[in-house]
Each structure stands twice: as C-alpha cells, then as structure tokens.
Amino acid sequence: MDEWLSDLLAAIAAGDDRQAEEAVERLDRLGDAALPALQALLSSAEREHRWWAVRALAVVGTAEAVAALIAVLGDPDPDVRACAVVALAELRPAEAVEPLVVRLDDPSAYVARLAADALAQFGDAAVEPLIRTLREGGVAARAGAARALRALQSPQAIPALCAALDDPSAVVTAYAEEALERMGVGLVFFSP
C-alpha cells in the first residue's frame, strides 16, 4: 500500500492526472486497507490531495468510504465537495440522500446543481426529502429540489410541484412547470 500512496502523491505533485488516475484505479485490490492513507490525504491542506482522496474513496466504495465521502461534503473547497457529490451519485448509498439535500443550498452554484442532479439518480429514496425541501427550503434549495423532481417525474411530487407554480422564485416556478409538463399534468387532450 505504501507504494500505491507514493505513486499517487508523486503523480499529484507532478501534476500528472493520468498517472494519478492509474494509481487510484489500482485501489480495487486494496479496499478498506487504503482508508488510513486516504484519511491522511483528506486531512491535507492541499486541495489536490483532498480531491484525489475523494476520487479514490469512490473507487473503494465500501461503507467506510461512503461515510468519509459524506463527511467531505463539508470540505471548504467547492471542487472537493463537487467530487464528493459525483462520487456519491455514482455509489447511491441511501444514507447520502439527506446530506446531498443540504448541498442544494451550497454556496457554490456548481455544487448545488451537481447535488440536484445526483439526487435525481437516487430515485424514490430522494422524493420525500426533495418534496420537503421544495416546500420549506431556501430559494436555491427549492430550485434544486424542483430541478431534481423534474428529472424524477414522481407522481408523489405532483401536489408539491403544483404548489410551487406560485413560488416567488421564477427559477423554482420554471422547474415546477417543466416537471409537471413532462408528467403530462395539466394537459388537456381533445379530438378536433
């Protein structure tokens, strides 16, 4: 494992993303044995170290790795948070839904948008928290929730989306309209 970590750190220091990715891809053999080294990288003051640690945690994918990824959602760097959001979207652990809902109100619009897209990948597990956020969240969180619900097209969300048509935010209203339109709600069919 020390060789793997040395290879990864050397690739990061050299700015060689290809070599860093190759080092990360070798993690499938190590699993949880890589976690102590990855935890050390997550504690680094260097953003690149933390980013690559998150990328590696996604490859490990165990319950312990998922817990670390959820914790990283609070990292001060938006690129590191974004990497964690994408990793959680790929792994789709149920325990990540609520922490991702919190990211709908992230200070970085990019991270917030990724969180909405990630939540849409969780399917039914995300519907209730998204409905709650659409009703009770701040403007950015409501917009993200409506965006995710637009992709999910859950009939369960129809009442909340209809209520969101009167939202003071034009963005929330637009996503709600699109969601309802995609589900065919409000369309009137008639024969000529």
Coil, strand or helix: which one is 74?
coil
Residue-level length of the chain: 192
The DSSP secondary structure of 10-45, one letter per residue, reads: HHHHHT-HHHHHHHHHGGGGTGGGGHHHHHHHHT-S
Q: For the chain, which residues make up each domain, given as ranges?
A: 1-91, 97-184
- 13-68 confidence digits (pLDDT tens): 677 788 888 888 877 677 788 888 889 889 999 999 899 999 999 999 999 999 99
pLDDT of residue 191: 52
First to last CA, the chain: 72
Measured CA to CA, the distance from residue 60 to residue 93 in angstroms comes to 13
CATH number at 97-184: 1.25.10.10
Q: Does the predicted TM-score (pTM) go above 0.85?
A: yes
Q: How confident is the model at residue 124 (pLDDT cuts 50, 70, 90)?
A: very high
Closest listed residue to residue 142, CA positions, set 105, 100, 181, 183: 105
Coil, strand or helix: which one is 68?
helix
Residue 188 has pLDDT above 60, yes or no: no
Q: Residue 57 in contact with residue 71, Cβ under 8 Å?
A: no
